[in-house]
Chains A and B, each alone.
Chain A
């Protein structure tokens, strides 16, 4: 069974600091890894998708790395803003499962204070 762990569970930083969120998974046979953002009372928004053959993916202030062999991914958010306050989740799907069967981490709750 794929276990997905996110550390830390919660994080509070002052505005302008860089954020580093970690995700680890136990089975390296994955299709890809996705990072999502969830705002209270809302669904999930996909931020970045890293294919299993890729090492990193970037979008604006966001950068996600993937080390499949060690079962780790890190999401970096540069120059954090109060609007970045949300819960961030990572998810993977194993090649031994159907593509749509994602395993999610429990999330990291981020608060960026002005």
Chain B
């Protein structure tokens, strides 16, 4: 597609339920990133996928959070047993993921606003 697509744009759930957030990166981009943005916390790194390499999961806040990337394209962020502190905007980004990744700009989606009641 023309840009990074995230769905749903808004998700309201009850505490304790599981949620899945989807990210469709720009076609041809092999690097994919998940960040979350919450009031008072700014943007936090969650996880980074680069091609077939093992992802950097060092930003996932607890074992309730997990992410997959199937076929090197679409990614799903899953939050199990949601808590109120999980309420935030979850942002996905992608970049080309070429040989020299350190010069690449990130392209962000519009995010998923997650509200846990």
The answer to whether B58 touches A44 (Cβ under 8 A) is no
Binds B, one of A14-22, A66-74, A98-106: A98-106
Show the binding face of B for A, using Cβ within 8 Å: 4, 31, 33, 35, 42-43, 45, 48-50, 56, 58-59, 91, 93, 101-111
Q: How far is the CB of A16 from chain B (nearest CB, A)?
A: 29
User: Are A43's CB and B109's CB within 8 A?
Assistant: yes
Show 19 A/B contacts (Cβ-Cβ < 8 Å), sorted by A. Answer: A32-B102, A43-B93, A45-B108, A46-B107, A49-B103, A49-B104, A89-B43, A97-B58, A99-B102, A100-B31, A100-B33, A100-B48, A100-B50, A100-B101, A101-B45, A101-B56, A101-B58, A103-B45, A104-B42
Chain B minimum-CB-distance residue to A105: B42
Number of A-B residue pairs with CB-CB distance less than 8 Å in the complex they form: 68
Q: Are B50 and A99 in contact (CB-based, < 8 A)? A: yes
Interface string of A64-107 (1 = CB under 8 A from B): 00000000000000000000000001010100011111111111
A98 closest partner in B (C-beta): B56
Residue numbers in A under 8 Å from B56 (CB-CB): 97-98, 100-101
Q: A36 to nearest B CB, angstroms?
A: 8
Known: A100-B50, A103-B45, A106-B42. A34 touches B106 (CB 8 A): yes
